[in-house]
Structure 1
Amino acid sequence: MRIPGVISFLVASLCLAGCTSTAGVDALDLQKPSNETTSSVIRPPAPITAAPKAMARSAPSDEMAPMADDAPAENTRPFGLAEEETVAFPAPELPDSAEPPVEPAALVSPPRLLSRAAPPMLAGPVTHYGFRDAKPINFGKASPRHLAVHGVDVSRWQGNVNWDKLRAQGANFAYIKATDGGDHLDPMFTRNWRNADAAGLKRGAYHFFYWCRTAGEQADWFIRNVPKVDGALPPVIDVEWNGESSCKRRPSREKVLEKMQVFMDKLERHYGQRPIIYTAPDFYRDNLRGEFLDYPFWLRAVARHPSKVYPDRKWLFWQYSGSGLSHGVTGRIDLNVFHGDERQWRAWAGGRISIADAD
């Protein structure tokens, strides 16, 4: 009788030791996979190339050229596209190792159906440059005026836009702010989205990325609010350091790239278009140099040609001014240009070719 009792005691002791050991392992702060994971999206084997080689007016510099003393700084304003980030419900400060909590469902607005899907729309007649600039820059032979297709980007800060006047003055396309973070919708997005299309501009939507929200919920918020419409330009992710933001986190380069990839993969699967990356010089220097070679880039460079500010980076759009003037808006507006001629614009905007095929 005693022997079976001893055996039972030994078995129980071994089980208890095993449970204690397992709990100890789980308690260790081991490196765990990120919560921000996504199914991979098939990517082209070759990097994106600029549309027209002949249009590149100045050769890329081997290093960043010093800025002239009298030239405006590349980042004189804290934001590029968004002008100001307004996230209605900022997430609390958290260490980089923790993911911010998901906001309650009550903060999420219902889906918005802005327009029905339409047949693919080819780009209309190109309206040539007619803008003025409050702070004109002499780009010399590399002037954006040498490129054929100009456009604008807008948010609520432009107020009520007269899209017909913008179109007549030289805006062939418009990128319209839709969302930032995981709960903010630009209050002018619906009106701008509809009216830009009615005036004959090619339109696209952009999202201002907020570093205190997960990439997945930001992608879901954008998809929830921006309709999937044939003929629209590819969606844009606007990535910048924003010193005025309620979010003070600056993730590591590795984390930035991971979050961007999650966001862009979700958008590409939903819209069937590769997102465009908009960025500014300081953020590019810290995170994007040499990265995402198979993605199109939209670069802010308001004092020098992009080849001087972003050496060796191919680009699709160039934001060359933040001080444009037009009869269509009160105040100033961002001016942009497409890296190609009219034929390449029509082919790319009509969806007949990718930018990699535009050479």
Structure 2
Amino acid sequence: MKVLKLIGFIALLVIIFKRPYAHSPHFTPVNHAKTIPTHVIKALPKETEKPLHGIDVSHFQGEIDFLEVEKSGVHFVYLKATEGTRFVDPTYMKHIEAIKQTQLQHGAYHFFQPSLDAKQQAEFFVKTIKQQSHLLPPMLDVEVSQGMSSDAIKAGVKVWLDYVQAELKCRPILYSYGDFWRDNLGTEFTQYKFWLAEYSKTLKKPDSLSNVNLWQYSDKGRIPGIEGKVDMDVMFKREGVCNA
């Protein structure tokens, strides 16, 4: 009888530890701030309270295990959705389906081509992402001029931002480098949160750029779930939730 009881007890332990939720990251809260490098934490604005760690990805990252990404301490992910007027990132839909199996906050971005019609680009982006229920605001990546003047770039960016905001009922975020912002965007877009790409140990930004809320501090990050290098980001203050 004692042997049978022992066997029963062992079987119970096996059942408990084999249940799906026993190893689920959803039941293992992560202190995301601890995964952000110390030099990044030190460089953040003084008013930052609970910075969030994130990544942005495209087809260049190939296959991604988002469950592993989530367990590593990453809190949010931005996915490249579109570029120009015709290109849909070939991994976008696959990544969307995978990321929805996690608790990662997610958003989508468009790579802007200033030489192409801005409204057509905006329409293409909205059509691509509208049914995907992204939680984070849409983002416009503006980092190439394609020979266009700063005035033409500003005009096109404004058209894109206005259209996307009207359609998705969510104010987009602008992404660029400090030099590109200074030369081609400037203070006309201060009502939009800015995502600054600055690969250094300190947060170097133009003096008049006051609306930075995200910092892409590295393009050579390494995290579980992604084989190659990945862009690493930190969000100073939690963005408002959208539902595209």
Amino acid at match of 1:333: V
Q: Is the 8 A contact 1:175 1:203 kept in 2?
A: yes
> Number of residues paired by the alignment?
212
Query: Structure 2 matches for 1:228-239, cutoff 5 A?
Result: 228-230=131-133, 232-239=135-142
Amino acid at match of 2:43: A
Amino acid at match of 1:191: K
Aligned to 1:270: 167
Aligned to 1:226: 129
Shift of 1:264: 0.8
C-alpha distance in structure 2 between counterparts of 1:304 and 1:310, whole Å: 16
C-alpha distance in structure 1 between counterparts of 2:188 and 2:64, whole Å: 36
* Residue in structure 1 matching 2:118, options 209, 215, 235: 215
C-alpha distance in structure 1 between counterparts of 2:194 and 2:153, whole Å: 16
* Residue in structure 1 matching 2:212, options 291, 315, 332: 315
1:258 equivalent to 2:159? Answer no
C-alpha distance in structure 1 between counterparts of 2:98 and 2:206, whole Å: 34
Aligned to 2:19: none
Shift of 1:210: 1.0
C-alpha distance in structure 1 between counterparts of 2:34 and 2:227, whole Å: 16
Instruction: Give the direction of change, closer, same or farther, for the CA distance of 1:261–1:325 in structure 2 (3 Å limit).
Output: same
C-alpha distance in structure 1 between counterparts of 2:41 and 2:121, whole Å: 40
C-alpha distance in structure 2 between counterparts of 1:296 and 1:323, whole Å: 24
More strand by share: 2
C-alpha distance in structure 2 between counterparts of 1:231 and 1:209, whole Å: 19
Amino acid at match of 1:255: A
Amino acid at match of 2:232: L
Shift of 1:211: 2.1
1:298 equivalent to 2:207? Answer no
C-alpha distance in structure 1 between counterparts of 2:30 and 2:164, whole Å: 29
C-alpha distance in structure 1 between counterparts of 2:94 and 2:161, whole Å: 25
Runs of 5+ consecutive residues of structure 2 not aligned to the other structure = 1-28
C-alpha distance in structure 2 between counterparts of 1:251 and 1:271, whole Å: 28
1:150 equivalent to 2:53? Answer yes
Cα deviation per residue 1:190-232 (whole Å; 9 max; x = unaligned)? Answer: 0111211211111110000112210011111111211245552
Shift of 1:131: 5.3
Higher radius of gyration, 1 or 2 = 1
Instruction: Give the direction of change, closer, same or farther, for the CA distance of 1:200–1:139 in structure 2 (3 Å limit).
Output: closer
Q: Is the 8 A contact 2:137 2:240 kept in 1?
A: no
* Residue in structure 2 matching 1:241, options 126, 138, 144: 144
C-alpha distance in structure 2 between counterparts of 1:234 and 1:184, whole Å: 21
C-alpha distance in structure 2 between counterparts of 1:233 and 1:139, whole Å: 22
Instruction: Give the direction of change, closer, same or farther, for the CA distance of 1:302–1:137 in structure 2 (3 Å limit).
Output: farther
Shift of 1:138: 4.3
C-alpha distance in structure 2 between counterparts of 1:220 and 1:148, whole Å: 33
With structure 1 as the length reference, what TM-score do the two structures score?
A: 0.54
Aligned to 2:68: 165
Runs of 5+ consecutive residues of structure 1 not aligned to the other structure = 1-124, 243-248, 352-359
C-alpha distance in structure 2 between counterparts of 1:253 and 1:186, whole Å: 27
Shift of 1:252: 1.3
C-alpha distance in structure 2 between counterparts of 1:172 and 1:139, whole Å: 16
Cα deviation per residue 1:59-107 (whole Å; 9 max; x = unaligned)? Answer: xxxxxxxxxxxxxxxxxxxxxxxxxxxxxxxxxxxxxxxxxxxxxxxxx
* Residue in structure 2 matching 1:195, options 98, 114, 119: 98
Q: Is the 8 A contact 1:149 1:338 kept in 2?
A: yes
Instruction: Give the direction of change, closer, same or farther, for the CA distance of 1:127–1:176 in structure 2 (3 Å limit).
Output: farther
Q: Which structure exhibits the higher relative contact order, with contacts defined as CA atoms closer than 8 Å and separated by 6 or more residues?
A: 1
With structure 2 as the length reference, what TM-score do the two structures score?
A: 0.78
C-alpha distance in structure 1 between counterparts of 2:108 and 2:227, whole Å: 21
C-alpha distance in structure 2 between counterparts of 1:260 and 1:350, whole Å: 23
Percent of aligned pairs with the same amino acid: 33
Q: Is the 8 A contact 2:114 2:144 kept in 1?
A: no
Amino acid at match of 1:211: P
Aligned to 1:206: 109
C-alpha distance in structure 1 between counterparts of 2:241 and 2:138, whole Å: 15
C-alpha distance in structure 2 between counterparts of 1:140 and 1:230, whole Å: 30
C-alpha distance in structure 2 between counterparts of 1:208 and 1:350, whole Å: 22
Shift of 1:328: 0.9
Secondary structure, aligned partner of 1:160: coil
* Residue in structure 1 matching 2:225, options 313, 320, 328: 328
More helix by share: 2
Shift of 1:146: 8.0
